[in-house]
Structure 1
Amino acid sequence: MDSITPLPIALVTGASRGLGAAMAEALAKTHHVVAVARTTGALEELDDRIQAAGGQATLAPMDITNTGAMAQLCRSIHDRWGAIATWVHAAVHAAPLTPAAHLSEGDWTKSVACNVTATGILIPFLTPLLGTEGRAVFFDDAHAGEKFFGAYGATKAAQIALARSWQVETVRTGPRVHILTPNPMATATRARFHPGEDRDALAHPRDEAARLMAELN
């Protein structure tokens, strides 16, 4: 894409599918989207949809737990565009549902790394890029304290606790920090958690993205 694009920049972490992809498509109507996710093929499909709708995107196929890669991405964004207007953080590791006593070390480690540690590293990285006028968006769907949701619930709740602290710290100085609560959606993650659920009764991610975007405006 042309580096002199006049559009504001939106960074979407976890943009390959589900709500992250839907938010990227919604933002692409008014922003140049930098889409971050591990799955290259899914990012390319997102880019196709964004371009078909007349939007612009830059793909960044990388893992948010790779601190060096994310530092380089933030530096590249600074060097190319100077700032970002919006950061949507939808990246998550959704460990399989299991009793807390049966939680595997691998799933716990991945959950902490993606849902907590990466967030704690990205906030300092992105605060200078967001400046005083930018906005950051998080999604509160932690299921904290629900049975079998130990790894997801605990680590996502920790992420939101961190976001809430950042939110109250920046009320006067910016950036604006938004914590939104999505309705249950027909996503792959939801299907893993609730395999027998009637998906027709769930919100479509694009509809939910439109609703949540309206809350930001």
Structure 2
Amino acid sequence: MTDKIALITGASRGLGAAFAEALYDTHHIVAVARTTGALEELDDRIQAKGGAATLAPMDITNADAMAQLCRSIHDRWGKVDLWVHAAVHGAPLTPAGHIDQKDWTKSVAINLDSVGRLIPFLSPLLGADGHAVFFDDPRGGEKFFGSYGATKAAQIALARSWQAESANTGPKVSILTPKGMPTGTRARFFPGEPREALVHPRDEANRLLSELNLSS
């Protein structure tokens, strides 16, 4: 049984789920997502491989719920070795002059505000030796990507500040750029795109994990 803890926010599908499955043999997985059924399916797959997971079906925008989760992690394990943040809201593509305010508010809440809370919550749990991972998607400034591009760019700007601030003290902060994958979010952005040219999340998770070199 591993004593390493990996917290995956946005773990129910796509790259987050793929990371959870890829880490099963080296980490106990704490899987966070809103969709209980998808988390249970992830748990089944991890258990079938001989791993173990703790499911946390909650919304990362709920500050009280996330604070309670972090307190529970502290009380049970005292630490987080790896935090992989894969949660994202991909608002519908639209001209900047036609952004729906509900979509804008949701984008800010999920892509930016939640991260601004989670970093202070998790920094003490990660300590000097932990590792936080974010995923860049450099579409900020591209036409029609206003809500998603702006809030994702702001999230990564915050992560880069944390990365620079913690370079000498820890935790380590990595910002990776995944290749295109056949996820639900990408399908909303590029309907009808040939899926054969895209990389399976499982393969991309393995490639990105090799970049992280967690064993070092």
Size of the aligned set, in residue pairs, is: 213
AA paired with 1:113? A
Who is 2:189 aligned against? 193
Q: Please state if 1:74 is matched with 2:79.
A: no
Q: Gaps spanning 5+ residues in structure 1: where?
A: none
Give deviations 1:65-117, integer Å, cap 9, x for gaps. Answer: 00000000000000000001000000011101111111111000000001000
AA aligned opposite 2:170: G
1:48-197 alignment, distance < 5 Å: 48-197=44-193
Amino acid paired to 2:155? Q
Opposite residue 92 of structure 2, the aligned amino acid is P
Pairwise CA distance, 1:7: 2.4
- Matched position secondary structure for 1:84: coil
Unaligned runs of 5+ residues in structure 2 are none
Q: What amino acid does structure 2 have at the position aligned with 1:179?
A: I
Identity over aligned pairs, percent:
75
Compute the displacement of 1:142 (Å).
3.5
Deviations 1:130-181 (A, max 9, x none): 0000000000014111111000000000000000000000011000000000
CA distance in 1 between partners of 2:121 and 2:171 (Å): 13
Distance in structure 2 (CA, Å) of the matches to 1:42 and 1:80: 24
2-structure distance, mates of 1:110, 1:139? 19
Q: Distance in 2 between matches of 1:85 and 1:198?
A: 37
83 and 69 in structure 1: CA distance in 2 versus 1, 3 angstrom threshold? same
Query: TM-score under structure 1 normalisation?
Result: 0.97
In 2, Cα distance between equivalents of 1:37 and 1:138: 16
- SS of the aligned residue for 1:77 comes to helix
- Poorly superposed stretches of 4+, deviation over 2 Å: none
